[in-house]
Amino acid sequence: MSTTASSGGSAAPESMRASVLVQQGEVRLEERPVPSLEPNQVLIEVAAVGVCGSDVHYYQHGRIGDFVVDAPMILGHEAAGTIVAVGSAVPADRVGERVSIEPQRACRVCEQCKRGAYNLCPAMEFYATPPIDGAFAQYSVIEADYAHPIPDSMSFEAAALCEPLSVGIWANQKARTGPGSRVLITGAGPIGIVILQVARAFGASEVIVSDIAETRREAALRFGADRVLDARTEDPAEFAKDVDVFIDASGAQPAVRSGLLALKPGGRAVLVGMGADDVLLPVSRIQARELEVTGVFRYANTWPLAIELASSGRVDLDALVTGRFPLDRVVEALDGALDPAALKVLVQPGASA
């Protein structure tokens, strides 16, 4: 690996503070070496990191599916900050850029990468997915083209949340949401709210959102939903009939089934929420109505649009933030993200306690 250098020629910091998931249920603030740079990478001083449900799941359970935390790991993958050093193959004038981090590294040569679906790269290295460290730290590294410049008008908090926004973009692109689309979204957590905002930005004429929590239904209305349904008493299959698009952001089997039953013939379903590995689906309905059913796994080529939607105000990311914590209070941030009234909780590595 090459050494790092700033625009002034001084060496990059040698050590940093990082919040480390030592083992299931145990997070510890540690002093760690600053990651060294490969020629095509940049070193970023992290300003803001969103707490994702996957971070909480790794903290509580030590694994997600086949991804198992078997060694200490830094969590956090929704991140933004300032480039402070560059590798030897990166122009020095990138030092000082404010950037949103696309937290992945694809191989670039496999079949999936070459067809543009690099999110499906079998060799993908993704922030905070074992064994790759994430961004709950003062500094992080990423390949230069995955560090996307942001306008001065855009906050670091919004730039960090371009990651969940990318999920919302990818889901709506897969659903082919467009002008005049009637859209049903089940689940009004942070991802559901982002999907809602993107559907609006893409021209949906009606967006209906279903959730069991009153606080989240209220949030959906604030962020532009036309109607909300109480999932405990109002079945989307009855109260949201014949929608063009159904996007599930809950992972709950009843929600998935009801959403599929709400689709009109030729409708499109996109499954985003993570629930049980196997669920019962209304197969005869899928066949008889020729429904399209697909899933999403992260995203690809979404960051330019995410930055445009957020910086133009067509999607409001700053308003999603409901809590902020310094690096030495990451456990509180992880616990706080479970509050039904919370949308996005942020960690600010440079903030003091």
* pLDDT in the model for residue 350: 85
Give the pLDDT mean for 261-271: 98
Whether 112 and 212 share a structural domain = no
Domain annotation covers residue 2: no
Q: 296, 271 in Cβ contact below 8 A? A: yes
Domain of 74, CATH number, reads 3.90.180.10
CA-CA distance, 155 to 70, in Å (whole number)?
A: 35
Q: Which residues pair with 182 in a beta bridge?
A: 206
* pLDDT in the model for residue 211: 98
pLDDT of 36 > 50? The answer is yes
Q: Is the pTM of this model over 0.85?
A: yes
Whether 50 and 20 share a structural domain = yes
Whether 78 and 116 share a structural domain = yes
Whether 34 and 122 share a structural domain = yes
Give the pLDDT mean for 147-171: 98
Which phi and psi (to 5°) does residue 234 adopt? -120, 105
- Give pLDDT tens digits for 168-202: 999 999 999 999 999 999 999 999 999 999 999 99
Domain annotation covers residue 311: no
Whether 115 and 52 share a structural domain = yes
Handedness of CA 281, 287, 288, 292 (dihedral sign): positive
* pLDDT in the model for residue 266: 98
pLDDT of 9 > 60? The answer is no
Q: Which residues pair with 147 in a beta bridge?
A: 101
Domain of 235, CATH number, reads 3.40.50.720
Domain annotation covers residue 309: no
Q: 62, 173 in Cβ contact below 8 A? A: no
Whether 278 and 252 share a structural domain = yes
Q: 147, 98 in Cβ contact below 8 A? A: no
Whether 152 and 171 share a structural domain = no
Q: 326, 114 in Cβ contact below 8 A? A: no
Whether 144 and 242 share a structural domain = no
Q: Say how many domains are in the chain.
A: 2
Q: 165, 286 in Cβ contact below 8 A? A: no
Domain annotation covers residue 104: yes
pLDDT of 8 > 70? The answer is no
Domain annotation covers residue 5: no
Whether 35 and 157 share a structural domain = yes
Domain annotation covers residue 306: no
- Give pLDDT tens digits for 117-153: 999 999 999 999 999 999 999 999 999 999 999 999 9
Whether 104 and 186 share a structural domain = no
Whether 251 and 193 share a structural domain = yes
Q: Please give the residue range of the domain that contains residue 240.
A: 165-295
CA-CA distance, 17 to 25, in Å (whole number)?
A: 20
Domain annotation covers residue 66: yes
Whether 251 and 326 share a structural domain = no
Rounded percentage of the chain residues whose pLDDT exceeds 70: 96
Residue 222 CB partners (closer than 8 Å, separation 6+): none
Domain annotation covers residue 301: no
Surface-to-core class of residue 94, CB atoms within 10 Å of its CB (0-12 exposed, 13-18 middle, 19+ buried): middle
Q: 190, 163 in Cβ contact below 8 A? A: no
